[in-house]
Amino acid sequence: MNSIKVFAPASVSNVACGFDVLGYPMDDVGDQLIIKKTPVKDLVITAIHGDNQLSRYKNENVVTIAVQALLDHLDSPPDFGFGFELTKKVKPGSGLGSSASSSVAGVFGVNELLGRPYNKEKLVEFAMEGERASSGVAHADNVAPSMLGGFVLVRSYTPLDLIQLDYPKDLFTTVVHPQIEVKTSEAKKMLKKQIDLKDAITQWGNVAGLVSGLAKADYGLISRSLKDVVAEPVRSMLIPYLAQAKQIAMDCGALGCSISGSGPSIFALCRGKEIADKTARAFKALYDQQNIDSNVYVSSVNTKGAEVLE
Amino acid sequence: MNSIKVFAPASVSNVACGFDVLGYPMDDVGDQLIIKKTPVKDLVITAIHGDNQLSRYKNENVVTIAVQALLDHLDSPPDFGFGFELTKKVKPGSGLGSSASSSVAGVFGVNELLGRPYNKEKLVEFAMEGERASSGVAHADNVAPSMLGGFVLVRSYTPLDLIQLDYPKDLFTTVVHPQIEVKTSEAKKMLKKQIDLKDAITQWGNVAGLVSGLAKADYGLISRSLKDVVAEPVRSMLIPYLAQAKQIAMDCGALGCSISGSGPSIFALCRGKEIADKTARAFKALYDQQNIDSNVYVSSVNTKGAEVLE
């Protein structure tokens, strides 16, 4: 196999109460990456479609940074190189794990071309190096869902412990991405290093409730648990019309609605596609009214994660 | 029915990572309460066995305080009173929800004698008034498990939202109660009002892991999740030989070991009775060696909660 085309999904991280530990990937929305073996032992980004601001320098693009982390881990590196043609559907700064999609696509595809020396769990660690380069912190709450599929819990970072949660398969997500950029690193800076113990207790009560609700398919419990008292109150000022979007989503029958990652995208989690579609139309109308361009996506929770397309 | 004998179990709260939100009750260990209707409209504690320090004044004992909260909630209070004969197997200040057992037994028994005007979930709210009187805070992480049985999550306090978690039925707990007293109110005071966000993230990753592990019967995940980075590091100085007890429990094959409630009792959670028994013997030997009297209990996770004995 000399070339491969792979897909790595965009993802919703935090999921309201699961700050830095929870995420799930979307269908169709994400990065496509064509990888070709090349005779020269080098990593070369030959083209980037869908974004004209990303660097093609191998030390500046997360695809090649993550792939290099994989190659550095091999006992005997290959005697050939790789060329990458990246097609991005979600731009950086969306809160949808754009950089994670690229990192995951890179390491997943190269791993396939090398005959799968690593399993997906191990690949997450290499993809995290892309996150470190992108945001300064090697977080996993986008790369792990994008790689593995499904609701993923990052139980621990040291050591990395990724848990694929049980969840009902009729969950859909609606995401609206208002076309304003929020830098993850800036959004992270807004959070204080300490939080009130009482807020922490509220948050872990909700995380526990969400995990239990997902496992039991208890939609009421899922809905009651989808609350964020830690990041959302701080970051909400960065997201235009968040309060209105939340109200609209709940009026449409969504289970919950909050900021995706560090924003500005907003996600709603819904039972069934009908409610998700209704929420999507309402989101679009909200931002149209305010003359803010927006992209709206409806998706089931992607069960496969990173996959080979061709 | 003019009299009743009820049992309300002692309980392990916090369960390492679930500070203030998780707990489970024990078998056999707890409070027995005989309640008799009396012609005089009053609440009278006629006898307390097993503890000679508890007040029998109705405004000072949690049994009658909690029962009064129930009576105050009735549209039409009964035209008779109640007499209470309390037998305590666990002393206050144990970290095993001693006051919660008493409060639960009181409201559960009186509710039975009144023809069950309330369900168990509602009774928890009255029992919490006993906790408020006992520790200054109306917490539910002992009263809810003692009342309802099983692993209980207090997802939220406002409004009160109690979740009965799924868990494998071969879990046993070993508890050692070194005979030193730790006041819950003092132990609570040791905790700071703020915690590091990174510790909070670790804690809610573990809570999520524990709930998922319990639901999936994934014992490895349960074990990896039974860690407390919030309360245990602060309170450990109050508990003699905690580090040794933890090591001993893990050496015996326990899934995890930490402080029960605010201590000084220490719990181990084990898969199967054999490991729990082995851990019990090792706990006893540890404290015997140090010339510290201790009570050791082995119990499955009580599935019934408060119950009628006669």
Q: What ipTM goes with this model?
A: 0.94
Q: Examine the pLDDT at B145 and tell me if it is beyond 80.
A: yes
Q: Which alpha helices (H) appear in chain A, and where do they start and end? A: 62-73, 98-113, 120-135, 143-148, 184-190, 197-216, 219-225, 232-235, 242-252, 273-289
* B204–chain A nearest CA distance, Å: 5
Tell whether the torsion through CA atoms of B261, B145, B141 and B206 is positive or negative.
Answer: positive
Testing the interface with A: which of B22, B197, B204 to mutate, by most A Cβ within 10 A? B204
Q: What are phi and psi of A188, to 5 degrees?
A: -65, -35
Q: Which has the minimum average pLDDT: A114-128, B40-54, B64-78, B180-194? A: B180-194
Task: Enter the DSSP assignment of A37.
Answer: E
pLDDT-derived band at B91, boundaries 50, 70, 90: confident
For the residues A102-122, what does the mean pLDDT come to? 98
The reply to whether residue A204 touches residue B204, judged by beta carbons under 8 angstroms, is yes
Q: How many CB pairs under 8 A join A and B?
A: 134
Task: Enter the DSSP assignment of A53.
Answer: S
Q: Examine the pLDDT at B186 and tell me if it is beyond 80.
A: no
CATH number of A3-165+303-308: 3.30.230.10
One DSSP character per residue, B68-123 reads HHHHHHSSS--SSEEEEEEEESS-TTSSS-HHHHHHHHHHHHHHHHTT--S-HHHH
The reply to whether residue B19 touches residue A225, judged by beta carbons under 8 angstroms, is no
Q: Examine the pLDDT at B217 and tell me if it is beyond 90.
A: yes
Q: Which residues pair with B47 in a beta bridge?
A: B85
Helix (H, G, I), strand (E, B) or coil at A257: strand
The reply to whether residue B161 touches residue A224, judged by beta carbons under 8 angstroms, is yes
Whether the ω angle into residue B159 lies within 30 degrees of 0, i.e. cis, is: yes
Residue among A86, A166, A61, A69 nearest A122 (CA): A69
CATH number of A171-300: 3.30.70.890
Say if residues B31 and B178 touch (Cβ distance below 8 Å).
Answer: no
Read off the pLDDT of residues A235-287 as tens digits, 9 standing for 90 and up: 888 899 999 999 999 999 999 999 999 899 999 999 999 999 999 999 999 99
Q: Which residues pair with A301 in a beta bridge?
A: A26
What pLDDT, on the 0 to 100 scale, is given for residue B185? Answer: 66
What pLDDT, on the 0 to 100 scale, is given for residue B188? Answer: 65
Angle between helices B98-113 and B120-135 (to 10 degrees): 140
Say if residues B79 and B39 touch (Cβ distance below 8 Å).
Answer: no
Active site residue A310: no
Q: Examine the pLDDT at B181 and tell me if it is beyond 90.
A: no
pLDDT-derived band at A187, boundaries 50, 70, 90: low
Q: Which of A64, A125, A129, A131 is catalytic?
A: A131
Active site residue B131: yes
Minimal Cβ distance to B166: which of A154, A156, A215: A215
For the residues A168-191, what does the mean pLDDT come to? 83
Read off the pLDDT of residues B225-266 as tens digits, 9 standing for 90 and up: 999 999 999 988 889 999 999 999 999 999 999 999 989 999
* A213–chain B nearest CA distance, Å: 9
Say if residues B91 and B97 touch (Cβ distance below 8 Å).
Answer: no
Tell me the Ramachandran region of residue A49: left when phi exceeds 0, alpha when psi lies from -120 to 50, beta otherwise.
beta
Tokens coding A90? 């979600």
Write down the pTM of the prediction. 0.95
Interface residue ranges in chain A relative to chain B, Cβ cutoff 8 Å: 17-22, 153-156, 161, 163, 165-166, 191-198, 200-212, 215-216, 221, 224-225, 230
For the residues B159-186, what does the mean pLDDT come to? 90
Say if residues B245 and B232 touch (Cβ distance below 8 Å).
Answer: no
For the residues B207-213, what does the mean pLDDT come to? 98
The reply to whether residue A21 touches residue B205, judged by beta carbons under 8 angstroms, is yes
Q: Which of A64, A173, A174, A184 is catalytic?
A: A184
Q: Which amino acid is at B203?
A: Q
Question: What are the domain boundaries of chain A?
Answer: 3-165+303-308, 171-300
Q: Output the CA–CA distances (angstroms, integers) from residue A10 to A62, A265, B64, B151, in the order listed.
A: 15, 12, 57, 36
CA distance A209 to B155: 6
Please tell me the class of the B3-164+303-308 domain. alpha beta
